[in-house]
Amino acid sequence: MGERGCDDGVNLLYCNHPMLPLSPLDGRYASKVAVLESYFSEEALMKARVEVEILYFIALSDEPRVRELRRLTGAERATLLRIIERFGPKEISMMKRFERRTNHDVKAVEYFLRKKLQSMSSIRKSLEFIHFGLTSEDVNNLAYGILIHRALKDVFRPELRSLLTDFGSLGRRWRKVPMLSLTHGQPATPTTLGKEFSVFMERLGRQLTTLYAFKMGGKLGGAVGNFSAHRAAYPEVNWEAFGRKFVRSLGLTPLRFTTQINPHDDIAELSHLLARINTILLDFSRDMWMYISRGVFRQKAIAGEVGSSTMPHKVNPIDFENAEGNFGMSSALFLHFAEKLPVSRLQRDLSDSTVQRNLGVAFGHHLLALQSLKKGLSRVQPDLKLLRRELEAHPEVLAEAIQTVMRRYGFTDAYDILKKLTRGEEVTREKLIAFVKTLPLPKGEKERLIEMVKN
């Protein structure tokens, strides 16, 4: 981890050299995604591994048939849990020294804990039960699982719920604001501005419901998923039941049959879900860009802000552009995770390891996009006069309503009659009113149509 506490208050990976990081998430945008350090940084992963190892050690001590490891006292448990709570730079340095020697990050966790617990005389004789029967993937997949759960709970579900609330609020606020539709880029049947926001509220809401129900899986089973080493030492223990109980205690869904690794179908499922959310919100970002370009929305000008280095009048829709770009970056990574991670040669290969380390990058771009989108929404207001002018300029869009009423009252070829009247023709309200007056419709219906055309 880099130094903390820069003079300008920005938390960067390299505070003394903020221009050096290769990733903009660790440089230019570091302050905006700093909240994710607790879930996706190397420090967070190391701490989560320690947490899994300690909780596993405690769970083993609670298994009465593992007789050589006595049940830990309350004081001993508290001491072990404090190692997790107080995990910091000193512990990281110690663990990294072990990793440099072993060239194995999870084995370094085991050696770190052995060293740490040497000072506990009551536990010193039980150190061989640290990492007992485990393979590194048992620790890693559980660590990733609990970190992802926490990130979703603490950061992403609240962020998405807040955006959903914004969509709903704006949908209600503008529900009676009429607006010209464009289908295929051409004037079409009018809609309301609020209804168009409600479309995205419903789309996002469906995905968010799925996200709230999502749970990561958890694998515990040793070198090839069969509890082979565990059985060799303690054949009388029901290790499958032990494993299920332990995985559930971490808030994860136990996987019954695995190879050496969690097959990562859980990350694939989550990745596809987040890619769908990205796509929906990218669609919204582009719509907002086009509404701003068309003049439907005006953006608030911020004092001191520059829109163009040469054109002083510009107020560019940069927040929606940034959102679009970051949603795309996030999805590119999530879709790669979904395609790559569930594929592993036979019982294990290590190609998933380096890929999983980029989970935070995908989440980081997703968070940046959400922040940009919310900022953009806070700066727009509809131009009601323009919306009215657009509708007045295109009375031909009322042709659908007129021909549909004609169909109701039995007119033959109503669509073709209105097509001849309006398609490719200059249409005015006066022309439409004159046409409606010729129709043999009930008086009330004719008056209603005329009033519709007038307004």
Q: What is the pLDDT of residues 113-140, one digit of tens each?
A: 999 999 888 899 999 999 999 999 999 9
Kindly tell me if the per-residue pLDDT of 2 is higher than 90: no
Instruction: Return the CATH number at 413.
Output: 1.10.40.30
> How many structural domains compose the chain?
3
Please state whether beta strands 217-218 and 186-192 pair in parallel, antiparallel, or not at all (unpaired). unpaired
**Interstrand relation of 217-218 and 380-382 (parallel, antiparallel or unpaired):** unpaired
User: Are 214 and 156 part of one and the same domain?
Assistant: yes
Q: Does residue 368 share a domain with residue 222?
A: yes
Residue type (1 letter), 53 = E
Q: Please say whether the beta carbons of 159 and 368 come within 8 A.
A: no
The lowest-confidence range among 12-21, 289-298, 405-414 is: 12-21
Per-residue pLDDT, 1:
37
Q: Is residue 71 in some structural domain?
A: yes
Structural domain that includes position 77: 41-132
Residue 281, domain CATH: 1.20.200.10
Which of 383, 415, 442 is the C-terminal boundary of a domain? 383
Question: Which has the closest alpha carbon to 69: 81, 79, 57, 78?
Answer: 57
SS3 411: coil
Query: Please, which pLDDT band fits residue 15 given cuts at 50, 70 and 90?
Result: low
Rounded CA separation 79/118 (Å): 13
Let me know whether 225 and 370 are in one domain.
yes
Q: What percent of the chain has pLDDT over 70?
A: 94
pTM of the model: 0.91
Please report whether residue 346 resides in a domain: yes
Would residue 309 show up in a list of annotated catalytic residues for this protein? no
38 catalytic residue (yes or no): no
Task: Note whether residue 11 is domain-resident.
Answer: no
One domain, residues 94 and 175: no
> Domain for residue 221, yes or no?
yes
In a domain, 12, yes or no: no
Residue 375 lies inside a defined structural domain of this protein? yes
Is the pLDDT assigned to residue 275 strictly greater than 90?
yes
Which is higher by pLDDT, 306 or 427? 427
Identify whether residues 362 and 399 lie together within a single domain. Answer: no
Q: What percent of the chain has pLDDT over 90?
A: 89
Catalytic residue among 93, 119, 121, 184: 184
Q: What pLDDT sits at residue 17? A: 59
Domain boundary among 107, 132, 157: 132
Residue 208: pLDDT band with limits 50, 70, 90: very high
Indicate the average pLDDT of the chain.
93
- CA R_g for the chain: 31
Residues 127 and 146 in one domain: no
Q: Is residue 282 part of a domain?
A: yes
**Is there a single domain that holds both residue 337 and residue 264?**
yes
Q: Final residue of a domain: which of 62, 97, 132? A: 132
If you write DSSP's letter for every residue of 231-253 in order, what string do you get? HHH-TTS-HHHHHHHHHHHTT-E
Q: Which of 308, 351, 353, 378 is catalytic?
A: 308
Output the six-digit token pair for 94: 């110690």
**Pairing of the two strands 178-183 and 186-192:** antiparallel
Question: In this structure, what CATH number is given to the domain that contains residue 99?
Answer: 1.10.275.10
Please give the Cα distance from 285 to 417 (Å, whole number).
Answer: 39
C-beta separation of 435 from 417 below 8 A: no
- Based on the domain organization, do 102 and 190 belong to the same domain? no
pLDDT of residue 7: 43
Q: Can you read off the two tokens belonging to residue 75? A: 């004081």
Do 219 and 175 lie in a common domain? yes
Please identify which residue in the block is written with the tokens 């909780």. Answer: 55
Q: For residue range 295-353, list pLDDT tens digits in order.
A: 999 998 777 676 666 777 767 899 999 999 999 999 999 999 999 999 999 999 999 99
Report the phi/psi class of residue 55: left, alpha or beta, with left for phi > 0 and alpha for psi in -120 to 50: alpha
Span 23-73, pLDDT tens digits? 999 999 999 999 999 999 999 999 999 999 999 999 999 999 999 999 999
Extract the runs of DSSP E, i.e. beta strands, from 243-375: 253-254, 297-299
Task: Give domain status of residue 424, yes or no.
Answer: yes
> Given pLDDT bands bounded at 50, 70 and 90, which one contains residue 278?
very high
Query: H-type helices in 118-217, by residue range?
Result: 136-151, 157-173, 193-213
Please determine, for residue 3, whether its predicted confidence score (pLDDT) is greater than 90.
Answer: no
Q: Are residues 210 and 326 in the same domain?
A: yes
Give yes or no: residues 325 and 440 share one domain. Answer: no
Examine the domain organization and report whether 353 and 424 are in the same domain: no
